[in-house]
Amino acid sequence: EDQVTQSPEALRLQEGESSSLNCSYTVSGLRGLFWYRQDPGKGPEFLFTLYSAGEEKEKERLKATLTKKESFLHITAPKPEDSATYLCAVQNYGGATNKLIFGTGTLLAVQP
């Protein structure tokens, strides 16, 4: 069964303290892995799509990487405005067309 597990569930960092969020996945054939940011009470905001192992993408203080079993979202020198829930999702070649399977997210709090 296709599955996405994110860890940790919650993470508290001091401003400037770099860290990584993990997304482990099990799919029969990965079409794409997606990272989203979600602020409280709002819809998810798209960050990155990764398609193959070894691929990396960056945006400001965020860098996403992908292996055959997991993806990491590295946050370098975070600021309080990076506080949000970060969601990971995968799309499977073998599943229903266009369907995304989501993890339950990592709640990140960055303290000044």
Partner 1 sequence: DVKVTQSSRYLVKRTGEKVFLECVQDMDHENMFWYRQDPGLGLRLIYFSYDVKMKEKGDIPEGYSVSREKKERFSLILESASTNQTSMYLCASSFAGGSQTQYFGPGTRLLVL
Q: How far is the CB of 36 from partner 1 (least distance, A)?
A: 8
Residue 97 interacting with partner 1 (CB under 8 A): yes
| Structure tokens that stand for 100 in this block | 């995304």
Size of the site for partner 1 (CB under 8 A): 23
User: Are the C-beta atoms of 10 and 106 separated by less than 8 Å?
Assistant: yes
Residue 36 interacting with partner 1 (CB under 8 A): yes
Cβ proximity to partner 1, 14 vs 98, nearer residue: 98
Residue 35 interacting with partner 1 (CB under 8 A): no
Task: Choose which of 75, 87, 108, 110 interacts with partner 1 (CB under 8 A).
Answer: 87
Cβ proximity to partner 1, 13 vs 90, nearer residue: 90
Choose the binding region for partner 1 from 19-27, 56-64, 67-75, 86-94 (rule: CB under 8 A).
86-94
Q: How far is the CB of 53 from partner 1 (least distance, A)?
A: 17
- The dihedral built from the CA positions of residue 74, 78, 80 and 81, taken in this order, carries a sign that is negative
